[in-house]
Amino acid sequence: MTTMPDSTTPFAPGPHAYVPRLPVPDATPLPVCDAAVAELRAAADRWVRTSPERKAALLDEVIRVTLPLAARWTELGSIHEGVSPAGPDAAEEAIVGPYIFLRATRYHRRALLDIARDGVPRIPGPVRTLPDGTVTARVMPADPIDRLFYIGTEADVWMEPGVTAESLPSTMAGAYRTPPPGRVCLVLGAGNASSIGPLDVIHKLFVENQVCILKLHPVMAHLAELQEACLAPLVREGVLRVVHGDADVGAHLAAHPGVDTLHITGSDKTYEAIVFGGGPEGQERKRRDDPVLHKPFSAELGNLTPIIVVPGRWSEGDLAYHAENIVTMLTNNAGFNCTTSRVIVTAASWPQRGALLDRIRARLAQVPTRLAYYPGAAARFAAFGEVHPEAERIGRPGAEGELPWMLIPGLSPDATGDPCYRIEAFCSVTAETPIEASSAAEFLDRATAFANDQLWGTLNATVIVDPRTARDPQVRPALDRAIRDLRYGAVSLNHWSAVGYGLGITPWGAYPGHTRTDIGSGTGVVHNPLMFERPVKTVARSPFRAWPKPLWFSSHRRAHGAMAQLVQFEGDRNPARLVPIFWNALRG
């Protein structure tokens, strides 16, 4: 079998090194990094003692200074990814950048005000106990506006065994109930989505009470000046420093005696290189569990996202809607997401399987190819094509550096070790796996086992099921089992499971249980404004066909206009913006 390149190594060497399209700052000199750590060290204990009211005021200021920068944030992100800042694809950058950042920051601010008043964040919805004893907390919708913007969508956070409805408040906001010693956290930012680094900082500062040094990823360095301006109130407060550079800067800071903890969004290979060292010696250290870095280290490290399509009787409209739903999961950000649809799991005997695949092909042919801006993408794409010469390449690249979409249909579920099941392509590649089953209920059981046991990663999964099938007395228990048993940190019914990242109020991270010698999708959670200390997973449920059309759908014609207004609304909550938001949303 062809040797596959590392799927998401942030600092790919040699011919795959990142070449910036926009100006980027010079690497921060190491003495300046040392000075930044010393400044944070001096502020760490003070930050722990800072009142929730003061912290909420700082977040209020972050929101105010970000609002006038949001349009420029979207513009720079679009240019960087090779799309027109004035075109519909720019809506992606507005969503994944300023919108998600402002939304999550607002929820953190609200939680801090709740702590100031009541000692604990307020859970927006009911707390329930499932028949097996699992406690769930309804966090979405969080307010009437959520009910308008996400019609019919609900999200619950499921807790670890042993948490009861009565004890749940005592497992929230521990860094405020019992303030920890002051700590300095190194946040190694991601290179694929512009809100990740800033939101990781918000989590570490305001949920875990740790001051932060943020090292921006080289692929995101074009946003360095803008993001530092958005976070300027925290820099001024002395609890955040932002630095730039490649792996050498990151390695220096990771080993720095003044840095207590680390957090990374990136590759499992990068995590292992930091914890155990590189090369054969690092692999031997990993085998012995003999790390070179002993510091606490949280991480979000990618996923092979399954899209489990439950067989049913679908209309032509249903097929078209979910073909676009699945295609959007692939084409968004040119496939450089840990939420990209990597394996579409279908029922082999479903009469409409072929029709769905044909509509996926047709929709892919309509989506313009995208710039493969992330390091090593072309090599990974070629390697998957070499392993699978039968792969379908859809779309004709219109410019240098673009890649077509790749669909690998009919992949056997028994193909143990196939790179489609073991390696995150991190480019425009998706596979389809048909599973034999005599009924929808049997399919759900087998698809769940396949996703849990065959696919690498435990971050997020999507299940698509029509309402008639979901209500079937024989299917409903199997659907409940699937949602319960899928070992993923976010499980979404009908909507793209990226909502687990984008809602801003749901914890985001791998399913618990990974160790440093088998890190998988990572350990710990971020984006956790309600400060749950023992979450297992988020379960989001949405209508089979959302209305209006989701603004992230690739064919939405008015998404850019709606998102420009929605970003501003997230910051100022001005009800006058609702009319243009809905006018644009309904015309998509």
For residues 340-355, give the mean pLDDT.
Answer: 98
| Whole-number pLDDT of residue 18 | 58
Domain boundaries, the chain: 28-121+175-300, 305-490, 557-588
pLDDT tens figures, 201-237: 999 999 999 999 999 999 999 999 999 999 999 999 9
Q: Is the pLDDT of residue 3 over 80?
A: no
Residue in the block written with tokens 């400044």 = 39
The answer to whether 572 and 557 have CB atoms below 8 angstroms apart is no
Q: Is the dihedral of CA 367, 371, 374, 378 positive or negative?
A: positive
Residue 346 neighbours by CB under 8 Å, 6+ apart:
309, 311, 353, 356, 357, 432, 433, 434, 435
Express each pLDDT in 79-101 by its tens digit: 999 999 988 889 999 999 999 99
Question: For residues 305 and 336, is the Cβ–Cβ distance under 8 A?
Answer: no
Give the model's pLDDT for residue 356: 98
Q: Whole-angstrom Cα distance, residue 272 to residue 163?
A: 32
Task: Confirm if 533 and 172 have CB atoms less than 8 A apart.
Answer: yes
pLDDT digits (tens, 9 = 90+) for 274-288: 999 999 999 999 999
pLDDT in tens, 437-456: 999 999 999 999 999 999 99
Model confidence at 1, pLDDT cuts 50, 70, 90, reads very low
Domain 28-121+175-300 class in CATH: alpha beta
Token digits of residue 398? 């219109």
The answer, yes or no, to whether residue 552 has pLDDT greater than 50, is: yes
The residues, ordered by sequence, that sit 6+ positions from 562 with a Cβ below 8 Å of its Cβ are: 91, 551, 580, 581, 584, 585, 588
Whether 32 contacts 85, CB under 8 Å: no
Q: Which long-range contacts (CB under 8 A, 24 or more apart) does 354-361 make?
A: 355/319, 356/309, 356/314, 356/319, 356/322, 356/323, 357/407, 357/409, 357/432, 359/319, 359/320, 359/323, 360/323, 360/326, 360/327, 360/407, 361/392, 361/394, 361/407
Q: Output the pLDDT for position 105.
A: 98
Q: Which pair of structure tokens corresponds to residue 59? A: 């977040």
> Residue range 295-316: average pLDDT?
98
Nearest to 406 by CA among 373, 378, 434, 447: 378
Q: What is the pLDDT of residue 5?
A: 38
Q: What is the pLDDT of residues 148-205, one digit of tens each?
A: 999 999 999 999 999 999 999 999 999 999 999 999 999 999 999 999 999 999 999 9
Q: Nearest CA to 306 among 331, 332, 329, 335?
A: 329
What pLDDT score was predicted for residue 398? 87
Banded pLDDT at 351 (limits 50, 70, 90): very high
User: Dihedral of the CA atoms 47, 53, 59, 64 (nearest 10)?
Assistant: -140
What 8-state DSSP symbol labels residue 134?
A: -
d(Cα 335, Cα 305) in Å, to the nearest integer?
Answer: 12
Residue 13: is its pLDDT beyond 90? Answer: no
* pLDDT greater than 80 at residue 16: no
Q: Using CA atoms, how far apart are residues 309 and 216, in angstroms rounded to an integer?
A: 37
Contact of 79 with 21, CB cutoff 8 Å:
yes
- DSSP 8-state code for residue 2: P
pLDDT at 4 over 80: no
The predicted pLDDT at position 87 comes to 86
Across all residues in the chain, what is the average pLDDT?
A: 95
Residue 346 has pLDDT above 60, yes or no: yes
Q: Which residue in the block uniquely carries the two structure tokens 């909420």? A: 56
Contact 419, 264 (CB under 8 A): no
C-alpha torsion sign, points 79, 85, 89, 93: positive
Helix 70-81 × helix 559-572 angle, to 10°: 140
pLDDT number for residue 42: 98
Instruction: Report phi then psi at 120, rounded to 5.
Output: -155, 145
Q: What percent of the chain has pLDDT over 90?
A: 92
Q: Give the mean model confidence (pLDDT) for residues 131-138.
A: 97
pLDDT score for 588: 76
Give the residue from 375, 55, 36, 26 showing the smallest Cα distance to 206.
55
Alpha carbons 386 and 1: distance in angstroms, whole number: 9
* Phi then psi dihedrals of residue 137, to 5 deg: -120, 125
pLDDT of the residue at 12: 31
May I ask the CATH architecture of the domain 305-490?
A: 3-Layer(aba) Sandwich (3.40)
pLDDT, residue 408, reads: 98
Give the pLDDT confidence of 563-572 residue by residue, as tens digits: 999 999 999 9
CA separation for the pair 553, 328 (Å, rounded): 6
Mean pLDDT, rounded, for 411-426: 96
Among 19-28, 199-208, 381-390, the minimum mean pLDDT is found in 19-28
* Per-residue confidence (pLDDT) for residue 19, from 0 to 100: 65
**Assigned token pair, 562:** 């709606």
